[in-house]
Amino acid sequence: MESVSVTVSSFISPSFALNVLVPVGFGTEEMEAVIIVDVLRRAGAQVTMASVEPQLEVEASSGTRLVADTSISNCSHQVFDLIALPGGMPGSVRLRDCEILKKITSKQAEEKRLYGAICAAPAVTLLPWGLLRRKQITCHPAFTDKLPTFWAVKSNIHVSGEVTTSRGPGTSFEFALCLVEQLFGESVAKEIGELLLMHNADNSLKKEEFNEVEWFFDRMPRVLIPIANGSEEIEIVTIVDILRRAKVDVVVASVERSTQIVASQGVKIIADKSISDAAESVYDLIILPGGVAGAERLQKSRILKKLLKEQKVAGRIYGAVCSSPIVLHKHGLLKAKKATAHPSVIGKLTNEVVNGTKVVVDGKVITSRGLANVIDFALAIVSKFFGHARTRSVAEGLVFEYPRS
């Protein structure tokens, strides 16, 4: 892990709710937007996800449909303690071309309040606005050549005065935690890092595999991701984003009456279809995202239960992360299987539990502890589907450390 380089850091003592603006547009990187929002809300910030488009619904860079809380025009007279720009293309261009956002962010910089950007956004959005003068900055390696050479740094995170910059989806957790530290202090950042399973993630085995079988397809694999109100948004968007980057056909299906769900930290996501429509197709893999309330709702879906049972009988692949291995367990789908889950629920599994590992694969079942471990989980699926070379290529695009062999 590369170290965080800090020029000046500012800490604010939170005697009242701190307001954060996260603008989104067509083609915004969904992992970056959602991880920033989720992590800052967990820390206690009032986060507004604002659309720079004429409508609130925004299709992100890998096709996830997010619904913003409000329009950017409603934010022009608000004071924000932090403005954090996610990257993605053409999302960073959409942010750059939004005059209202430019004015809000320029005022933020003038008044020496915190602002930050990740991935393409430092080079594509902040630089043309003139908000990076005399600042050392980092960005996605694909955009480093746009930065003034003298001021460009290669660390995953860089803090220079009021501005914090970072490199990509794979550094989003570090970036969000760095922003938490500047807003709320080191102890809150440490606590949130532990909640996200970030600190123990560094020392854990990435993956353990038992009863190894090939997951081989002579066509594009088809994956179903069922979601519900209370599902964990970080897990939904990370799995979808990474699998779609690897060219997997991913279908997101809502078990609710509406295709729009409200995830565990309040992010609104629109599924591709309802579970009843999705059930008309066959999937090579079904993955359940976590979130305690979401897992309970997934467990109650009769259609999903039937799909999962059919998946097992047909010898196809299924898996779950975070709280959702419990759903598999209650449906009798973990019998004689090794698995893992979020530390808060792992004690409820009666099958053979594997502790201290981010991802466990047993034959055609894959489980993970979730949250910050979900990048490893999604990459483990890519590796099983397509092998090491494609997985490494996807990881490089994310700016996520992945073994060379």
Taking only the tens place, the pLDDT of each residue in 363-396 is 999 999 999 999 999 999 999 999 999 999 999 9
- Give 122's DSSP letter: I
Find the domain containing 134 and state its range: 19-196
Q: What pLDDT score does 356 carry?
A: 85
Give residue 305's identity as a one-letter amino acid code. Answer: K
365 in the same domain as 221: yes
259 in the same domain as 121: no
Selected catalytic residue, list 75, 98, 119, 322: 119
| Active-site annotation holds for 140 | yes
297 in the same domain as 230: yes
pLDDT mean over 48-66: 98
177 in the same domain as 44: yes
| Active-site annotation holds for 75 | no
Give the residue from 163, 196, 229 where a domain finishes. 196
**Which of helix, strand or coil describes residue 233?**
helix
Note the pLDDT tens digit of each residue in 143-196: 999 998 878 999 999 999 999 999 999 999 999 999 999 999 999 999 999 999
170 in the same domain as 304: no
- What predicted TM-score, i.e. pTM, was given to this entire model? 0.95
Distance of CA 57 to the CA centre of its chain: 18
303 in the same domain as 391: yes
How far apart CA 313 and CA 309 sit, in angstroms, is 6
Give the residue from 196, 222, 245 where a domain finishes. 196
Secondary structure percentages of the chain, helix, strand, coil, to 5:
40, 20, 40
166 inside domain: yes
9 inside domain: no
How far apart CA 21 and CA 117 sit, in angstroms, is 12
Of 187, 183, 147, 189, nearest in space to 167 by CA? 147
Q: What pLDDT score does 114 carry?
A: 98
Q: What pLDDT score does 306 carry?
A: 98
For Cα atoms 343, 231, 376, give the angle at the middle one, nearest 5 degrees. Answer: 55
CA 237, 243, 247, 248 torsion-angle sign: negative
Selected catalytic residue, list 140, 158, 329, 342: 140
218 in the same domain as 151: no
Q: What pLDDT score does 203 carry?
A: 61
367 in the same domain as 281: yes
62: CATH: 3.40.50.880
Residue 10 has pLDDT above 50, yes or no: no
201 inside domain: no
How far apart CA 78 and CA 88 sit, in angstroms, is 25
232 in the same domain as 140: no
Of 321, 158, 343, nearest in space to 231 by CA? 321
pLDDT mean over 335-363: 92
147 inside domain: yes
Structural domains of the chain, count:
2
